[in-house]
C-alpha cells in the first residue's frame, strides 16, 4: 500500500487548479443510465471513485469511451444487466446511485447493499423508502437491494433526514416517472444543482434544485447532452487550508468561490486575507499564526462536514481554542486519534471536539482512515516539524486528483512511496 512522506517545509505559495467535483461526477455518470443516447461529460476528475463508477457502468454493458483528458462519452443504449455487484459496491458506497436511474429507465435493478464505512453506518433506508413511495417493489435479499417497477409514479416524498445521495437517487427516479414528484427537505448541495442542470439539459422538467423543495414533472424520454462538471469545492477548500496552516499564500484557480462561502467565512475568522474572482479564490496567511475557529457542520448551505477534518488540523496549530461540532456523521473524528500522534491537544466528548492550539506539531507516522481524514493528516504534516508518513493513502486517491503533484507545485515536500520503500 502506498504511503505519503511529508516534510514540513514552511509556507506554501502559488497557484493550483481545482479539478471537477467528485460528488457531482458520480451521480451525473449514473444519470447516463436514463437515456439510450450518448452523454458527453467534460471536466471529470481523475479519481479512484470515478474509475470505480466507470467500471460499474462498463460491467453493465454501458459504453464508456475516453474522448480526451477529463472527457467521456457514456452510452447506455447497449446495457446488458442491471446488477451492481458487491465487489464494486463495497469499495464505493455511491454505487447506490445506479438504483434510481435503473428503476426509472429499465424497470429493474439489483444493487449490492453498500456497507457502512469508517465515518458511520451510512444507511440507505431513505432511498428505499422514497422509491417504494413511487411504486417500486423492493426486497433486501442476500445483501442486495432487489427492485422492480413497471413505471414509477410521481409521489410527494418528505426526507426525515437531509440526504445528498438520497435526494440524487430520487431526483433521477422522478424525471421519468408518471406524473409529478415533490421532494421535501431535499439536500441543497451544489452537486445536486449540477445534476439537475444536466438532467434539465437532457429534457427533464425540474424546479427548485438547490432549495429544500424540488418539484419534478415526469417525462417519457430524455436525450443525450454535453455537460461540464462543476469544480470541486472540497478540494478547493482543502488547498486553501493548506495555504493557511503553513502561513502561506495560495490561490486556487478553475473553481467557483460561490460554492464554498461558509468555508471562506471560516478562513477569514481564522485571520486569513481572502480575496475572490469569478473563477479563483486567494488565501493569504503570510506571517501570521491562524486564530482558532469554532465550527458546526450542517447540510448545505451550512458548513460542510467534508471540510471538518481539514479545519480540525488548522485548529491544532492555531492560537486559542476551537470547538468543532460534527452533526452529520456519528463517527467522523477518527483523524483526531492520528493528530494526537503529532502532538495535537484535542478533547472529544460525543460529537464535539475541543481543540487547544499548540505552537508546533512534531512529525510522526500516522494512518489515514477515510478520505477527508487523510487530507487533514497531509495538511498537519505540511505544518509539522520534521517528517510525517501517512499510511493507507488509497483513501486520499478516492477524492483528490494527483494531490502530491498539486502540493509539490506549491512548494510542499511530499512524496508517494510504496510499501517496499519503507
Ligand atoms: C454525501 O454522502 C457525500 N458523498 C459525502 O461525501 C458527504 O460527506 C455527505 O453527502 C454529506 O454531505 C457523495 O456525494 C458521493 P447523506 P451521502 O446521505 O449521500 C443519514 C466525501 O468525503 N442517512 O447526505 O452518503 C446518514 O447516515 C463523502 O466526498 C440516513 O439515515 O450522505 C448521515 O447521517 C464522504 N438514511 C446523514 O443522513 C439514508 O437513507 C447524511 O448522509 C441516507 C442518509
Q: How do residues 136-193 score in pLDDT, each as one tens digit?
A: 999 999 999 999 999 999 999 999 999 999 999 999 999 999 999 999 999 999 999 9
CA nearest 129: which of 164, 93, 98, 155? 155
Rg (CA), the chain: 21
**What is the DSSP annotation of 19-69?**
-B-HHHHHHHHHGGGG-SSEEEEES----HHHHHHHHHHHTTT-EEEEEET
Query: Looking at ligand 1, which atom is closest to the CA of residue 299?
Result: 12
CA 143 vs. chain centroid, Å, equals: 25
Q: Is 126 close to ligand 1, i.e. is its CB under 6 Å away?
A: yes
Output the residue whose Cα is nearest ligand 1's atom 6: 306
**Of all residues in the chain, what percent carry a pLDDT higher than 90?**
93
Residue 422 reports pLDDT greater than 60: no
CA nearest 361: which of 238, 246, 271? 246
Cα 122 to ligand 1 centre (Å): 7
pLDDT for residue 139: 95
Output the residue whose Cα is nearest ligand 1's atom 22: 306
pLDDT for residue 118: 76
Q: Is 198 a catalytic residue?
A: no
89 vs 196, higher pLDDT: 196
pLDDT for residue 212: 98
Output the residue whose Cα is nearest ligand 1's atom 21: 306
Query: Looking at ligand 1, which atom is closest to the CA of residue 126?
Result: 40
Q: Is 251 close to ligand 1, i.e. is its CB under 6 Å away?
A: no
For the beta sheet containing 280-284, the strands, ordered from the edge strand earlier in sequence to the opposite edge, are: 13-17, 249-253, 280-284, 273-277
Q: Is 53 close to ligand 1, i.e. is its CB under 6 Å away?
A: no
pTM of the model: 0.97
Cα 234 to ligand 1 centre (Å): 14
Q: Is 237 close to ligand 1, i.e. is its CB under 6 Å away?
A: no
402 vs 115, higher pLDDT: 402
pLDDT for residue 114: 82
**Of all residues in the chain, what percent carry a pLDDT higher than 70?**
99
Nearest-angstrom CA–CA distance, 324 and 296: 6
Q: Is 29 close to ligand 1, i.e. is its CB under 6 Å away?
A: no
Q: Is 308 close to ligand 1, i.e. is its CB under 6 Å away?
A: no
Cα 162 to ligand 1 centre (Å): 9
* Polymer length in residues for the chain: 422
Residue 421 reports pLDDT greater than 70: no
Cα 136 to ligand 1 centre (Å): 22
- The residue from 30, 82, 117, 198 that is catalytic is 117
Cα 305 to ligand 1 centre (Å): 10
Query: Looking at ligand 1, which atom is closest to the CA of residue 234?
Result: 29
**What is the DSSP annotation of 304-329?**
-GGGHHHHHHHHHTSBSEEEEE--S-
Nearest-angstrom CA–CA distance, 286 and 338: 27
Residue 122 reports pLDDT greater than 90: no
Q: Is 329 close to ligand 1, i.e. is its CB under 6 Å away?
A: yes
pLDDT for residue 420: 66
pLDDT for residue 368: 92
Q: Is 170 close to ligand 1, i.e. is its CB under 6 Å away?
A: no
Q: Which of 30, 161, 186 to mutate to test the pocket of ligand 1 (most atoms within 8 A of CB)?
A: 161
pLDDT band with cut points at 50, 70 and 90 for residue 117: confident
Q: Is 120 close to ligand 1, i.e. is its CB under 6 Å away?
A: yes
Average pLDDT value over all residues in the chain: 96
Q: Which of 19, 118, 122 to mutate to test the pocket of ligand 1 (most atoms within 8 A of CB)?
A: 122
316 vs 118, higher pLDDT: 316
Q: Is 122 close to ligand 1, i.e. is its CB under 6 Å away?
A: yes
User: What contacts 68, CB < 8 A, 6 or more positions away?
Assistant: none
Q: Identify the burial level of 286 via C-beta atoms within 10 angstroms of its C-beta, where 0-12 means exposed, 13-18 middle and 19 or more buried.
A: middle
Contact 201, 227 (CB under 8 A): yes
Query: Looking at ligand 1, which atom is closest to the CA of residue 161?
Result: 38
DSSP state of 246: T
Query: Looking at ligand 1, which atom is closest to the CA of residue 328?
Result: 34
pLDDT in tens, 37-89: 999 999 999 999 999 999 999 999 999 999 999 999 999 999 999 999 999 99
Mean pLDDT of all residues in 285-301: 98
Q: Is 328 close to ligand 1, i.e. is its CB under 6 Å away?
A: yes
Residue 106 reports pLDDT greater than 90: yes
pLDDT in tens, 217-239: 999 999 999 999 999 999 999 99
Amino acid at each position: 500500500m502506498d504511503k505519503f512522506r511529508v516534510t514540513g517545509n514552511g509556507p506554501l505559495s502559488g497557484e493550483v487548479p481545482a479539478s471537477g467535483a467528485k460528488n457531482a461526477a458520480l451521480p451525473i455518470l449514473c444519470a447516463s443510465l436514463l437515456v439510450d443516447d450518448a452523454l458527453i461529460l467534460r471536466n471529470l476528475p481523475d479519481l479512484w471513485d470515478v474509475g470505480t463508477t466507470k467500471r460499474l457502468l462498463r460491467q453493465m454493458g454501458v459504453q464508456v469511451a475516453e474522448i480526451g483528458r477529463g472527457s467521456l462519452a457514456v452510452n447506455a443504449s447497449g446495457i446488458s444487466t442491471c446488477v451492481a455487484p458487491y465487489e464494486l459496491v463495497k469499495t464505493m458506497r455511491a454505487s447506490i446511485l445506479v438504483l434510481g436511474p435503473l428503476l426509472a429507465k429499465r424497470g429493474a435493478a439489483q444493487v449490492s447493499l453498500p456497507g457502512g464505512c469508517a465515518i458511520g453506518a451510512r444507511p440507505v433506508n431513505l432511498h428505499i423508502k422514497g422509491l417504494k413511495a413511487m411504486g417500486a417493489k423492493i426486497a433486501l435479499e442476500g445483501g442486495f437491494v432487489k427492485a422492480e417497477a413497471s413505471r414509477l409514479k410521481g409521489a410527494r416524498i418528505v426526507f426525515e433526514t437531509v440526504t445528498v445521495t438520497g435526494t440524487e437517487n430520487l431526483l433521477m427516479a422522478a424525471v421519468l416517472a408518471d406524473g409529478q414528484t415533490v421532494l421535501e427537505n431535499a439536500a441543497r448541495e451544489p452537486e445536486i444543482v449540477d445534476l439537475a442542470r444536466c438532467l434539465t439539459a437532457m429534457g427533464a422538467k425540474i424546479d427548485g434544485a438547490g432549495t429544500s423543495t424540488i418539484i419534478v414533472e415526469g417525462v417519457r424520454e430524455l436525450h443525450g447532452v454535453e455537460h461540464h462538471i462543476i469544480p470541486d469545492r472540497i478540494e478547493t477548500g482543502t488547498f486553501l487550508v493548506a495555504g493557511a496552516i503553513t502561513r502561506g499564500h495560495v490561490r486556487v484557480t478553475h473553481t467557483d468561490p460561490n460554492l464554498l462561502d461558509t468555508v471562506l467565512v471560516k478562513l477569514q475568522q481564522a485571520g486569513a486575507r481572502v480575496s475572490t474572482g469569478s473563477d479563483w479564490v486567494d488565501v493569504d496567511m503570510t506571517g501570521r499564526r491562524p486564530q482558532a475557529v469554532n465550527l458546526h457542520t450542517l447540510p448545505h448551505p451550512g458548513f460542510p462536514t467534508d471540510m471538518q477534518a481539514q479545519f480540525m488540523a488548522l485548529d491544532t496549530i492555531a492560537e486559542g481554542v476551537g470547538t468543532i461540532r460534527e452533526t452529520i456523521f456519528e463517527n467522523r473524528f477518527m483523524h483526531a486519534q492520528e493528530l494526537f500522534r503529532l502532538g495535537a491537544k484535542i478533547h472529544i466528548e460525543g460529537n464535539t471536539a475541543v481543540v487547544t492550539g499548540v505552537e508546533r506539531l512534531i512529525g510522526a507516522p500516522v494512518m489515514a482512515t477515510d478520505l477527508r481524514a487523510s487530507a487533514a493528516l497531509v495538511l498537519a504534516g505540511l505544518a509539522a516539524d520534521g517528517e510525517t508518513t501517512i499510511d493507507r493513502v488509497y483513501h486520499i486517491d478516492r477524492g483528490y486528483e494527483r494531490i502530491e503533484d498539486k502540493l509539490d507545485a506549491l512548494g510542499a515536500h511530499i512524496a508517494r512511496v510504496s510499501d517496499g520503500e519503507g
